[in-house]
Amino acid sequence: MSVQELVVRRGRRSGVTTMVAVHSSKLGPAVGGCRLKVYPRVQDAIDDVLRLSAAMTRKCAVAGLDFGGGKSVIALDAVPTAEQRREILLDHADLIASLDGAYLAGPDVGTGPDDMLVLHERTPHVFCLPEEHGGTGSSSGPTAVGVLAALRAGSRAVFGDDEMHGRKVVISGYGSVGAHLAAGLAGQGADVVVSDVDGRRLADAEKQGLSVVPPEQALGIEADVLIPAAVGGVFGPETEVAAPLVVGPANNQLTDDTVAANLAAKGILWIPDFVASAGGVVYTLGREAQNLTHEQAIARVETLEETTRRILDAASANGSTPLAEADALAEARLTSGAEPRTPSPREPRTAA
């Protein structure tokens, strides 16, 4: 499916190029994070926003959300000062506002709840405001809950059980989600090894009693589980992976969808990133769009375990890959609008 709408604009205050891609509104308004980072070229940012928005369409469809896929990118050419950052965010907010609710923004790489508060000065179409301002704040915790749910299903498929005690887990990326995952898995008795490009994060990990390795070594470490929790484009046709199970929150992990078959041929079970990473958007929309309680929203995130199990069962039965089955599930819902085959923890209250 091609992109439905792409808007690229140079901010009137900052002169910085910002953009929004609405990939699909078939199931509802497009939702997706606002990514703020330095790009070598504007075209690189456009390529990124198009890939990310397409992934959000699949993520929302598979997770059973009545929302479409979108994404926005702020294409920096240098790290801004605090004053420049505010001007850039206000420019981006004006772009979002001009779409009249066709795109709803949340945090992504380079942005957080405080940035959403700045966007909210110019547009109401924003999720994840700080809790003291009526939002749900960071979605990192719920995202990690969803990854752990998918990991349980993947572990049973590969190892026969979901016991993490004594298993070696490598987490590539020790940001907010990676840190949540490391703490949760270490608490279950896993031998956790983390990597990150930021030396300060590695120092924090060591303070938590975790083993650390340079990023370039992470994929080659003999382990039971590899969790990609940083940037995308991690796995290409020639990438060697030393763990039999790969499941993580990083978006667009494959350089090309054909890599899924390559990994499968090598005996590696790769759980699609748009399935494993859906916990944050499921939780946030449950709380802010459907008025669910925290407990109800977390229960809905936990259903990603069953979604993953059914995808893996279908892949095994059909001799296909989990990516092919997840794509088929997304396409079925986009075509028919029918709910995917996932359990509902309880009926939500009336939407706001």
71, containing H or E segment: strand 68-76
Cβ neighbours of residue 161 closer than 8 Å, sequence gap 6 or more: 155
Measured at the alpha carbon of residue 174, what is the angle toward residues 168 and 177, in degrees to the nearest 5?
95
Cβ neighbours of residue 274 closer than 8 Å, sequence gap 6 or more: 55, 56, 58, 59, 62, 251, 326
- Strand order of the sheet with strand 191-195? 211-212, 191-195, 168-172, 225-228, 245-246, 269-270
5, containing H or E segment: strand 5-10
Strands 245-246 and 225-228 come out as: parallel
Query: Which one of the listed residues 26, 37, 59, 71 is annotated catalytic?
Result: 71
91, containing H or E segment: helix 82-98
Please name every residue paired with 122 in a beta bridge, in sequence order, or none if there are none: none
Query: How many Å separate Cα 275 from the centre of its chain?
Result: 9
User: What are the phi and psi torsion angles at 326 (to 5°)?
Assistant: -65, -40
Count other C-beta atoms under 10 Å from residue 197's C-beta.
Answer: 14
Q: Are 140 and 177 in contact (CB under 8 A)?
A: yes
- 207 catalytic per annotation: no
List of E strands, 99-231: 103-107, 168-172, 191-195, 211-212, 225-228
Q: Are 253 and 232 in contact (CB under 8 A)?
A: yes
How far is Cα 212 from Cα 218, in angstroms, rounded to an integer? Answer: 9
- Strand order of the sheet with strand 103-107? 5-10, 17-24, 68-76, 30-38, 103-107
- Catalytic center residues: 71
